[in-house]
Structure 1
Amino acid sequence: MGNIKPLVLDVDGTFLKTDILLECFWSGMGKDPVAVVSASARYLLHPERLKARLAQIAPLRTDLLPVNPEIKALADRSRAAGRDVVLASASDVSVVKQLAADHHLGGRVFASDGVTNLKGGAKADALVAAYGENGFDYAGNAPVDRAVWEHAENVLIVGRHDAIARDLTAKGKSVTEFAGGWKMRDLIRAIRPHQWVKNILLLMPMIAAHNFQMSTLLTVIQGIMAFSAAASCIYLINDLVDLEADRLHSTKRNRPFASGAVPLGVGMAACAGLGFFALGVAAWLNPAFLGVVLIYMMLSLAYSLKLKRMRWVDIATLAMLYTLRVVAGAAAGSVSASVFMLIFIFPVFIALGCVKRLTELTLATSDERLPGRGYGRPDRSDLLNVAGLGIVGALLIFFLYTFSAQARMLYPSQWLLWVAMIPMAIWLTRMVWLGYTGKQDYDPIVFAMKDKMGIGILMITLSLMFYAAGIWQQWFGF
């Protein structure tokens, strides 16, 4: 048994379906972003020191990191046959040792140590020094691993590297290939296009001002496109920051980055592309809309990095983010947004923010606080009370609005606005109750856009308001 050559496994992208350096970076961004940014700037040209520092800032739960099932199975079979299985990585030695212990791979590892960046040629030299020329088999996934494959007896390649595989085969190496890579549909899933439906809120100012000009509509649609890109940019950051919390969640563990379906580097590139697109379109529309998009992205980033973990602050922030969508619609279409409307929708979104947390808590499997959140199941009654206050506040503000000069000008039949408050109250109360009983998904706005009964109630409300404004009479002559 002692003469069996060891199986040496690269870690990032080979044994794991993720990258430890990027895992440390994003874990640190969620726990101490100032320290991470400082370390990244200080050690940008010294990767071995950067890896060691990031590993100190935010220790990883290596037992949660997604493994490549084929390589893991190979490692288990090799160990069962009495063969040494060794991890060799450019990641920091402290993390690699912990990972090896989690998977019972033995105590010996090869990794960066804060002085040497064990990558490419440096890794090859270390392995040859330990096992001799052709004294080991090596599994890797990147072109940089070719420096190691050249000195291994048997080559194991994860992913499509056809030219390298042909060349090594021509040199007499035994080459075994394993599936790798990622799928575009998984990246699209991470971008969450289904969430773009929330940006229909940008149409509210145009509708409230009874401005139905095609030019205004087209401009607002461009604004919706920019806001959708901005939102997806932040969704990606949110998922990157929330990797550990998602892996501890019963369903979120299947998200593309948490599960390893999409590499973190691909997510970061997509995030940058979406951000540039959003800001470019916003700048092209007008400075006011650009300002709103910038505020939205900065507040969303603060929410992802810190605010969502702060009790009650997270709900207020969610309400502000939804409200900013309405402000963005006014800015994009150059439509005046009523102060009453903004004051009205904020408590509505406070209620819906509570619904989001109520749904999560109702669907939780224990009374423990939700991973990465400040709430546990015992908080459901408090959330229900705050949601109720949001409903009462919104209806009261709407009632006061019906007496304003603007309302009298836009809605000659004032009494119909009071009638419209009935289905409005029913819709809000129903949303809260569905969240409290766990009959929604995790986003109330997305749920509302798919809820047929709820849409019917909203259409009744809107129809009554249109009739009060004389719009139906103007369009259809009754």
Structure 2
Amino acid sequence: MDARSERIAVPLAVDLDGTLIAADLLWESLFLLIRKRPLCLFLLPLWLMKGRAHLKCRIAERIDFDPAALPYRAELLAKLQEEKAAGRYIVLATASPRLLAEKVAAHLGVFDQVLCTDPHCNMASVTKRDALVAAFGDGGFDYAGNSKADLKVFEAARQAVVVAPDRAASVWQAAHGGELIAAPKVSMRTIAKMLRVHQWLKNALIFVPLVLAHQYGNPPVLLDATLAFIAFSAAASAIYILNDFFDLALDRRHATKRNRPLASGVLSIPFGLGAMAVLLLVAAGTAAFLPPVFAAVLALYLVTTTAYSIAVKRMLLVDVLMLAGLYTLRILAGCAATGIEVSFWLLAFSVFFFLSLALVKRYVELRSTEVPVGERLAGRGYRLEDQEIIAQAGMASAFSSALVLALYIQSDTIDALYTHPWLIWPLGPIVLYITMRIWILARRDEMHDDPIVFIIRDWRSQAVAGLGALLLFAAGL
């Protein structure tokens, strides 16, 4: 018997979490459960008291699970399909519960047998090893795994296939050999993408009260605003990670969001949780150097954005109103950090301006996603037939922001702050140019970014915004 025939004659057992998929079904199903039934969060300790296996099975019973949305490791899956075609007996040996494991097996169609967790037995480590040895004998099977929990199984296998190994599995593979299927290396760019570093520019709104009060030359005030910016950026990144946890399945069905580090499986959920903890500590530690009212605003931001991630983002119109409010909250945070009083005109302008941009975002999502008439956009409260009313509301909101700005420019407040208030009048047309251009591009299907990100990247928007800043500065000379 040649080497290939000898290999085909030996069953191949394959782990699921972290091996066949670049994910962990326990974490994924946990976030699916919390998103669908938040109150079940209080049942988790009771289920865990009956064992890890019981916990997994109870969660699996309460979620809608789509195996097609999982991030499968292409190299390993291709190997399994090739081995199956050659007639090899392949076993899915996983610690995931039966409800999930059998759906994965049915979806892929390459497995002859499934060994998995039931309510009384967690199919991991020694338990998995004993089940495979009982079925095929000691050294009577090959095994593909990835983690410390798989080391006992590797030792009982004829040959190990080490896939995207953790530290313990990597050390074992280096010492004992076996086939290695390495994971993509994680770069700082990947971590920055998870943190959405480019979105930190939104927190520049914290500096708006300082600029409008002409306090940009005051070092203590500038330092307070900078600390507030750091705290908000860290908190925002933590919430972006949390939002990704809840949207894993939806992101994987999206043309571009499927490439996000957590959705693609390049970064794991435990890594994301660790990053969240660090970011929240940074936010809290930085806020400690600022007035207590800033900490209250930051806490409100965290609560509101968490509510948005879990539920509000699926509520018709409430979602865009909350988004506009969150942008305005950044301005209030700048006031809280620096002690500068905020103008009603500024808050009114902010609400209308950012409401228009939030509506653009929903409009673009409807235009770029195939949604049957009468059905809602996945994860949102909008339907295809809502496009026109969203566009009308968005453009009306854009004009309202310009109107509020014009009324502010004409108010008595301006005379007290600016030597040449007439120089500020072009700000109205500048705001209209930016917002109307965005809406025109959206109607042409030429708007593919978050509108805030678009403004940051678009040279025309940058040019007119820079002109507005120069006029604002010149008016105060």
TM over 0.5: yes
Larger deviation, residues 303-312 vs 56-65 = 56-65
1:66 to 71, 76, 79: 71
Instruction: Tell me, in whole angstroms, the C-alpha distance in 2 between the residues paired with 1:455 and 1:68.
Output: 41
Instruction: Tell me, in whole angstroms, the C-alpha distance in 1 between the residues paired with 2:450 and 2:19.
Output: 35
Aligned counterpart, 1:447: 454
Q: Is the 8 A contact 1:39 1:54 kept in 2?
A: no
Larger deviation, residues 97-106 vs 459-468 = 459-468
Deviations 1:20-61 (A, max 9, x none): 1011012222222221x1232222342111111111221211
* 1:375-414 aligned within 5 A: 375-411=382-418, 413-414=420-421
Question: How much has 1:86 moved relative to structure 2?
Answer: 0.8
Please say if 1:431 is aligned against 2:438: yes
How many aligned positions are there?
464
Q: Is the 8 A contact 2:92 2:111 kept in 1?
A: no
Instruction: Tell me, in whole angstroms, the C-alpha distance in 2 between the residues paired with 1:238 and 1:163.
Output: 34
Which letter does structure 2 place at the counterpart of 1:40? L
Aligned counterpart, 1:172: none
1:204 to 170, 190, 208: 208
Larger deviation, residues 182-191 vs 20-29 = 182-191
SS in 2 for 1:279: helix
Question: How much has 1:324 moved relative to structure 2?
Answer: 1.0
Please say if 1:39 is aligned against 2:47: no
Q: Is the 8 A contact 2:90 2:112 kept in 1?
A: no
1:183 to 182, 186, 197: 186
TM-score when scaled to structure 1?
A: 0.92
1:124 to 110, 129, 150: 129
Deviations 1:318-352 (A, max 9, x none): 10111111111112222221122112211111111
1:115 to 107, 120, 142: 120
- What is the RMSD of the two structures over their aligned residues, measured on CA atoms? 2.1
Unaligned runs of 5+ residues in structure 2 are none
C-alpha change, 1:168 and 1:466, in structure 2 (3 Å) is closer
C-alpha change, 1:154 and 1:420, in structure 2 (3 Å) is closer
Which letter does structure 2 place at the counterpart of 1:378? E
Q: Is the 8 A contact 1:8 1:139 kept in 2?
A: yes
Instruction: Tell me, in whole angstroms, the C-alpha distance in 2 between the residues paired with 1:242 and 1:189.
Output: 16
Instruction: Tell me, in whole angstroms, the C-alpha distance in 1 between the residues paired with 2:434 and 2:162.
Output: 56
SS in 2 for 1:350: helix
Percent identity at matched positions?
35
Question: How much has 1:107 moved relative to structure 2?
Answer: 5.3
Larger deviation, residues 368-377 vs 410-419 = 410-419
Aligned counterpart, 1:236: 241
Unaligned runs of 5+ residues in structure 1 are 170-174, 474-478
Deviations 1:162-220 (A, max 9, x none): 43135445xxxxx2222136503322211111111111111111111121212222221
Deviations 1:397-440 (A, max 9, x none): 22333354433322354544444322222222222222333333
Which letter does structure 2 place at the counterpart of 1:12? D
Please say if 1:422 is aligned against 2:436: no
Q: Is the 8 A contact 2:361 2:450 kept in 1?
A: yes
Instruction: Tell me, in whole angstroms, the C-alpha distance in 1 between the residues paired with 2:261 and 2:421.
Output: 51
Aligned counterpart, 2:464: 457
Question: How much has 1:274 moved relative to structure 2?
Answer: 1.0
Please say if 1:284 is aligned against 2:289: yes
Instruction: Tell me, in whole angstroms, the C-alpha distance in 2 between the residues paired with 1:157 and 1:115.
Output: 28
1:350 to 343, 355, 376: 355
Which letter does structure 1 place at the counterpart of 2:172? I
Aligned counterpart, 1:140: 145
Q: Is the 8 A contact 2:47 2:55 kept in 1?
A: yes
Q: Is the 8 A contact 1:362 1:437 kept in 2?
A: no
Question: How much has 1:376 moved relative to structure 2?
Answer: 3.6
Question: How much has 1:281 moved relative to structure 2?
Answer: 0.9
Q: Is the 8 A contact 1:226 1:282 kept in 2?
A: yes
Instruction: Tell me, in whole angstroms, the C-alpha distance in 1 between the residues paired with 2:428 and 2:393.
Output: 20
Please say if 1:195 is aligned against 2:199: yes
Q: Is the 8 A contact 1:283 1:289 kept in 2?
A: no
TM-score when scaled to structure 2?
A: 0.92
